[in-house]
Amino acid sequence: MALFGGNAPRAGDVAPDFSAQDTEGRTWTLSEMVKDGTAVLAFFPKAFTPG
């Protein structure tokens, strides 16, 4: 099974712009964060959840 329907990003690909809220309710937008330099985005599936 391929992630993202076979369209997995590759190293060096440009990420699409998006906004997301952090655990404190602040909204962050990728295009705003990279104005200050490199941004690292990490996902933790099932972090702090049972199973």
The pLDDT assigned to 25 comes to 93
Query: Which residues share a beta bridge with 20?
Result: 28
pLDDT digit string (tens) for the chain, length 51 residues? 445 556 777 888 888 899 999 889 999 999 999 998 988 877 777 666 776
Give residues with Cβ within 8 angstroms of 48, minimum separation 6. Answer: none
The pLDDT assigned to 27 comes to: 96
Nearest to 23 by CA among 40, 44, 38: 44
Where does residue 30 rank: exposed (0-12), middle (13-18), buried (19+ CB within 10 A)?
Answer: middle
Instruction: Provide the pLDDT for residue 51.
Output: 61
At 1 the pLDDT is: 44
Its sign, for the CA torsion 30, 36, 37, 41, is negative
* The predicted structure's pLDDT at residue 6: 64
